[in-house]
Structure formats: C-alpha cells, structure tokens
Amino acid sequence: MEQPIRILIVEDNVIIADDMQSMLEEIGYEIVDNVIVYEQAVEVLKNKEVDLVLIDIILASDKTGIDLGKHIRENYNIPFIFVTSNSDRATVENAKTVKPNGYLVKPFEQQDLYTSIEIALSNFTSVKNNGAVENQEEEDDRLMSNKVLKDSIFVKKQHLYYRIQFGDIQFIKADNVYLEVNTVDKKFLVRSPLKDYLEKLPQQKFYRAHKSYIVNVDHIDAINSKDILINNTLIPISKEFKEFIISAMNS
C-alpha cells in the first residue's frame, strides 16, 4: 500500500496545532511531528521523512515561519503552506518572498485544509516532473475516479483509488463542491454534485433524504419526525423522505 502523505505541523498555539492534527489524521494524512519553534522544525526535517510542512508565520522563537520557509527552499525539495491569522498586505508580501505552495488564513475548516494540501502537492509534483506525472494522474482520474462496478465504487483518497462496497456506505453529505462519503470507519472526499453521485448508486438502497444528504436505508438506526440516526450521526430529512420511510416500514 502507498505510504500516506507525511506532514510536519509547525504551530506555536498548542490548541490550534492539536486541532489541525486531528483534522489531518481524520482525512488520512500521517503527522510526522507537531512542533512550536523554528529550531525543532529544522531538527525534524533533518532526521525524518516529510512530504509537506504546515507553517505558522509567527512562531514562539526569534526566527519566524518565513525563516523556516527560506530554510526549506534552500535545503529541501518539498512543498510548504503558510498558516496564519494575518492576511494583511505586508504579511502576504513578506510571505511571497519565499514562494510558499499555499497560504491558509485562520480560522479554517477541515475542507479548507484538505483542499490547500492537495492543491499544493499536485502543483508541486507537476512542476517537479515537468507535467508528466500530472498528465498521468489526469488520465488515471478519467479512468478510475468514481468508477462504478456491480457491487462497489472506486473513490480517490490522496494518491490511491479505494474500492468501497455499496453496502459499506452509510451516508453521503454535500459540502459546497465536495461530497463527504461516510463508511463505518472512514470518510472520503469526492468532487461531484450530489444528484450525479446518487445516479451511480443502487436505487433500491440509496435515497436523497435531504437536499444535502444521500443515505443508505440499510444503515438507519432510528427515526423521528425531522431526523434519522445513522451510526450516532443525526441527519435531517425532508417531509417526502419521512413519508417514504414510514410507508416502506409499514409495507
């Protein structure tokens, strides 16, 4: 199996750092280390394999995140993303001097983090390989992404295509241009309209329970007049879906 993307977090606010680590691990990234100052980050980079660094610009040390970005540019061939509360012109202009692969302003959501990392990795790989890898990935995406088999569907996560049995999908939640596909123990992010994705799934099992949700009726644990419960997740339902479920239960 392909090695997960290994990320170093450099953030001097321990609460924010721990929150970032939880979000990243939930998506499927591996956290190499979680440090608060420039010197610790330099040591980790020297001794461990790192694929990408998330760097707070203002650190609890004399040297800033921009100094660390410069150190990475001069010594390593890996991408890094600045994570900061400061989006003023002076900070942005200063940050641009070390050519970061991304710039994320706090506060942010898990989806923002995921998108920034995936774009940074994709663009970095493309530049490094003069477009050859990017073209291959585009071809793989065309052939494999959301590919439907008789009993399952392929979903891309990082650089792997996971085969998910339809029966293992519990529910799918729409979030802007992405869908969050939830199985018993994993989450996958897919770029697709909810309506289009529903058409790929078996119609006898999957229904649109709400404008933002598709559910697998086999996984419904409980229901009331406004919600259903799937694996301890409360999901809102439309009036039409409630009537459909009650009718199905009575038949």
Regions in the chain scoring below 70 on pLDDT = 1-2, 125-150, 158-160, 251
Distance in angstroms (rounded) separating the CA atoms of residues 89 and 178: 30
Distance in angstroms (rounded) separating the CA atoms of residues 112 and 153: 25
**Which residue(s) pair with 113 in the sheet?**
none
Residue 20 host element (H or E): helix 14-27
What does the pLDDT read at residue 81?
96
Distance in angstroms (rounded) separating the CA atoms of residues 138 and 17: 33
User: What 3-state DSSP class applies to 68?
Assistant: helix
Where do the DSSP E strands lie in 132-236? 152-157, 160-165, 169-175, 178-183, 187-191, 206-210, 213-216, 222-223, 227-230, 233-236
What does the pLDDT read at residue 53?
97
Which residues make Cβ contacts (< 8 Å) with residue 80, sequence separation at least 6?
52, 53, 54, 55, 68, 69, 72, 100, 101, 102, 120
- Residue 11 identity: E
What does the pLDDT read at residue 161?
72
What does the pLDDT read at residue 232?
92
What does the pLDDT read at residue 131?
47
Sheet holding 222-223, edge to edge: 222-223, 227-230, 233-236
Residue 134 host element (H or E): helix 132-144
What does the pLDDT read at residue 133?
44
Instruction: Say whether pTM exceeds 0.85.
Output: no
What does the pLDDT read at residue 203?
84
Contact between 123 and 116 under an 8 Å Cβ cutoff? The reply is no
Contact between 134 and 125 under an 8 Å Cβ cutoff? The reply is yes
User: What 3-state DSSP class applies to 187?
Assistant: strand
